[in-house]
Structure 1
């Protein structure tokens, strides 16, 4: 394996002090238990109770008994987790050193440390605009450093539009054992990704995390500027002093976000959104709370 970039260690040290230690203190280590392993060995059939995972409903038994039944499985102690990471050109948007791509690096470092505890295995599928890169799941600090290093060195080779469907289809074909799957993207992509995301959600425990920058939703009044689409290279001159233009931009962004939220909901998932100007500790506390509520 190639030598580990020392900057990966620096990333780990930074998130350890700014996110992980305060998170452990706030949750008393409870965050990792929210991602406990889920085995595939059938244990029993029982009646549905509010809060059960709807994906576990056994429809044949439900139809026969005329009341909802769910299948329970024995729980494994170890967890296998996969990070599906969008590294396309649009992910470079945002302020220097705090763009969407930088947030992904910190998120990966946090997830890798949290999920890697106790010998759990962690792998990744990375997509830019070239061949999908797969890092098989392994445990240990070396694997954490490898993930951060690999993420940092991969950059888009062109301005091609994100094909999120390709990343998700690769995951469907690669991930066979039931796993925790965390999709991290800005979800700026042509249609076609809903079906493979639904397939993943049917087989695995999936989290969908959207990374956004505030400027994508609300332009400040800074006069005439040139905007460039990172994925197509197209440029347009706009007058941000025009209140009507800013209002139309904000309305369009809200419409697109509502459509994305509805699409994610149709797959049976809840969209988690993290802003580039957001404190990651607060984001993880929010995700932990929502995940805890979803398990009830």
Structure 2
């Protein structure tokens, strides 16, 4: 009998990965790729060259600047930094933010391993952290999918009613920097709702890696409809309050709070030098990933 991770991977391979791989025609491999490390040759320096590649010994001998050329390293090590905190459980039973995170993670992992690359993962909650070392192949993707499910369940079991802390995104990003030593591609998948002050760590991560921030949101987080009297719970702190969603004053205050929060996240991304790709729980993952790659290629053009 097929396990839940196997069913998820088979569904995504049939519904998303085959179509995505065909539509992108390998472009994700050229957009997200590693840097060369094998020395190939020397040539004279030109103004467009990176000064870090100057061979100073040869330059001193010939009295002309020369740069080293490297063979392109086509193997990419990709890391998935996955936020498994309480706020990621927001959304409908069929397709909450946690479900979208799992779909994105499995799809990205399978796409990269199809290209012969290795994928690792950092599964993070304030109470539970799990590192999955990078490997290749379909079986590894299945293992990764299972670890996401198991780690999320473990984090939830350790989440007590008296917990009041919000997600420590700074600690999650510092863990990613300490774990991913070799230069590669780092996908940070989160709603980026948590303690402030994480942008410096995100910015430092970009100094070594190509960083792709994927922000998962639910439409109801941005625009709560009129549902009458409802109990609203803060997913991070567990605090509950009864509110009247039909009250114009409540809607006004809610809108102001949402605008302030969104502006703060956008400003933090700018300070980190990272463009966030927004993926909604109501979005087709195929279209979301195609758009993400196209935006990345357009910024490089």
TM-score interval (norm. to shorter) = 0.7 to 0.9
**Match runs of 1:129-278 below 5 Å:** 129-155=126-152, 156=155, 157-158=158-159, 159=163, 160-278=165-283
Mark the CA change 1:162 to 1:36 in structure 2 (over 3 Å): closer, same or farther: same
Mark the CA change 1:93 to 1:57 in structure 2 (over 3 Å): closer, same or farther: farther
Select the residue among 24, 28, 41 that pairs with 1:31. 28
- Counterpart CA distance in 2 for 1:57 and 1:265 is 27
Single out whichever of 32-41 and 172-181 deviates more from structure 2: 32-41
- Counterpart CA distance in 1 for 2:116 and 2:280 is 31
Match of 1:287 in 2: 292
- Counterpart CA distance in 2 for 1:57 and 1:254 is 43
- Counterpart CA distance in 2 for 1:245 and 1:217 is 14
Match of 2:56 in 1: none
Contact 1:265 1:271 (8 Å CA) reproduced: no
Instruction: For structure 1, list consecutive stretches of 5 or more residues without a partner in the other structure.
Output: 50-55, 59-70
- Counterpart CA distance in 1 for 2:101 and 2:70 is 33
Contact 1:221 1:240 (8 Å CA) reproduced: yes
- Counterpart CA distance in 1 for 2:225 and 2:146 is 35
Select the residue among 81, 86, 89 that pairs with 2:83. 86
Select the residue among 4, 10, 13 that pairs with 1:7. 4
- Counterpart CA distance in 2 for 1:142 and 1:197 is 30
Match of 1:118 in 2: 115
- Counterpart CA distance in 1 for 2:149 and 2:251 is 34
TM-score, normalised to structure 1, is 0.86
DSSP-derived class of the 2:123 partner: strand
Larger Rg belongs to: 2
- Counterpart CA distance in 2 for 1:57 and 1:294 is 23
DSSP-derived class of the 1:154 partner: helix
- Counterpart CA distance in 1 for 2:127 and 2:249 is 39
Single out whichever of 158-167 and 33-42 deviates more from structure 2: 33-42
- Counterpart CA distance in 2 for 1:229 and 1:259 is 18
Query: Any idea what the Cα deviations from partners look like across 1:40-94, whole Å, max 9, x if unmatched?
Result: 5688865459xxxxxx787xxxxxxxxxxxx986520101010001001111000
- Counterpart CA distance in 2 for 1:80 and 1:241 is 50
- Counterpart CA distance in 2 for 1:73 and 1:198 is 27
- Counterpart CA distance in 1 for 2:17 and 2:277 is 19
Contact 2:32 2:210 (8 Å CA) reproduced: no
Question: Aligned-pair distance for 1:22?
Answer: 2.0
DSSP-derived class of the 1:208 partner: strand
DSSP-derived class of the 1:191 partner: coil
- Counterpart CA distance in 1 for 2:97 and 2:77 is 26
- Number of matched residues? 277
Q: CA RMSD in A?
A: 2.5
Question: Aligned-pair distance for 1:34?
Answer: 2.0
Contact 1:165 1:193 (8 Å CA) reproduced: yes
Question: Aligned-pair distance for 1:201?
Answer: 0.6
